[in-house]
Chain A
């Protein structure tokens, strides 16, 4: 069934969740988990469910994304028919580049019209989860739904971000209520949060887009979902596994640290592959004097100091006498000797010279932007 599904990934939506990390890149290409980018999870879910064509909607700063995806061969998506198809913004004398999700969908109707698959799965890149897309499509077919929205029951981590909450019927799954950014959200209380993965038939999606064009709609959420909760067959598919939504820097940090939990790793990485770009780095080296505990280490690292409760990305160097704790250290960061870091996130290519001491806290990790030298 999944062979008859085409994927669409929005690479830029939610960029504003973590502006520090998405200033120079799309949400899709935000690094995560030592050797991945956020899009790797959405793409791998699709590929592992048998999807062979994925359109990737881009808007801003997508050089790093193009560099990451290449021809798509790492995801087995370098295909004669389909594969990865980049869908950059379109504009001419009358049409400006899109500003909303609905306008973005309008701008890719050409792509949708040319495909032959029965279903479309639309996913954003703000969630990290191991999702069986084929099962969601099966659910959609069984329910003969117009729209299937995937939700996850969780406490909301912050009140400021943009959320859609669902009220699905306990028995049938039919969505009876749908609220966009409800005013009464309370931190710490459980909600059925929509996780930005939805399934529709391709035909229904194209029809809906055409209808929206004629009526001059601009918001998918407000003009299509909330207005039609009673008339459309919208179903909620509950995702019960580990789900990490990245709504803020605090979330990003917390979810990174959750990878140190074996159960989380087993769920995300066990029994299946997460595909990503390879760099042909050498395996990591642990030199005499290194002390490494409760840490994920990617390839190409050289460690001579102490590292505890950290995520080390590819090519990180930790010098002698340095003490790195509770930190996320991104690709090619070089940490000199006798440096002390606690609750720090470094972006790519940061250099921290000898004897520096930096610390943040779990709620507000200290962030060092790409290429900075301290």
Chain B
């Protein structure tokens, strides 16, 4: 019997995520922590396995160490398979050439041999920058039904923001007649989600043509998709309705974390019908002390809370000492907030120590913006970190 996979997913995870500043100093954006126990890449990986796609190539380039370690053999996502499973695909040296991945299309082109090994009929292209739950199997069914060569997942965005996206202009049947990358005057508010399904043979053909084209910037949105449309290939949009958030900026990362909170959250990670799988921290249950006061928050295993926590997301092993206040904050794993400190409207990376009586951030209403503290730093006792400030070194005060 021919060993094959109907659909292989290729996940673009090489991005630096420079707009996350200190949070991506040493890790790739898809490895950034999210939602108290997850990392961004958990969402596309969980979507894959929940959609029945068990073969995933993860293309890494920028600071891949932590991401590689996190993915490991793929076991947390049930992607450790004898045939298929998750594979890390890094840039490599070949006999005739050696190069970094130059653009999204080039990254996939350089790994054609990986895809071809599984003789897939379809290739699913994903990115590691978004928080969403999506059944790719439904999209694949739509792709087969329309007989498209390429199907692009699309979501309606507010018209005022449409110029930040790749915009699809479609006919009533969903077929695409025009593709505009970040148009100044958008004709529609239907934005590409950066999720594509290609009929495999067509993808190979256009990637080869794109590679041969010296003028191409080797990008899906700018080069490959327009080339296919110009050549008259069948391209369809696939409407997605639901939560979808690019967490590429500090403010969107903060907002998306807060969307998890409440009885009816904007985005529910606790749905047993669509589990988000992740590498679980080894930690005992969180301990909520006699002096703690917690309102509208999400708190992960291993935390020790003796202070006040309000409207915040706390990852594993965070310590909030007695008399400390955490408000409107995202605290990543292992961070310690000492006695009497106030931490508000901020994103704090892993293993940060906030000294006794220190004050990090300013109230959201002040308009000063979100404070960001990078990994492993210490804010000295009594020091004051203003709102909107980004720190990636120890801080003793002004």
Contacts and interface: CB of A to CB of B under 8 A. Distances in A.
Interface in A182-224: none
B261 A299 contact: no
B287 A286 contact: no
Interface residues of A, number: 38
B308 to A, nearest CB: 12
A288 to B, nearest CB: 5
Contact of B270 (A34, A73, A300, A304): A300
Nearest to B295: A288
Nearest to B289: A294
Given A282-B269, A283-B37, A293 B289 contact: yes
Nearest to B80: A73
Interface stretch (A16-24, A273-281, A348-356, A365-373): A273-281
Contacts of B283: 269
A81 to B, nearest CB: 19
Contacts of A125: none
Q: Which of B282, B289, B291, B315 has the most CB of A within 10 A?
A: B282
Q: Which of B35, B76, B270, B296 has the most CB of A within 10 A?
A: B270
Interface in B64-85: 75-76
| Consensus secondary structure, chain A interface | loop
B301 A299 contact: yes
B278 A34 contact: no
Contacts of A34: 284-285
A302 interface: yes
Contacts of A79: none
B288 interface: yes
| Consensus secondary structure, chain B interface | loop
Interface string A295-319: 1111110101000000110000000
Nearest to A312: B285
A273 B260 CA distance: 29
A283 B35 contact: yes
Task: Bin the interface of chain B by size.
Answer: 35 or more
Interface in B256-288: 260-263, 269-270, 275-278, 280, 282-288
A3 B37 CA distance: 34
Nearest to A44: B282
A33 interface: yes
A284 interface: yes
B288 A33 contact: no
B27 to A, nearest CB: 21
A14 interface: no
Contacts of A302: 270
Contacts of A289: 295
B36 interface: yes
Nearest to B46: A280
Contacts of B289: 293-294
B148 interface: no
A289 B269 CA distance: 21
Interface of A: 33-35, 73, 260, 262, 265, 268-269, 273-275, 278, 280-300, 302, 304, 311-312
Shortest Cβ-Cβ A-B pairs, 5 listed: A34-B285, A282-B270, A283-B36, A283-B300, A298-B285
21 contacts: A33-B284, A265-B287, A269-B284, A281-B270, A282-B37, A283-B298, A283-B299, A283-B301, A284-B300, A286-B295, A287-B263, A287-B296, A288-B262, A290-B294, A291-B293, A292-B288, A292-B292, A293-B292, A294-B290, A295-B287, A296-B288
Interface of B: 35-37, 75-76, 260-263, 269-270, 275-278, 280, 282-301, 309, 315
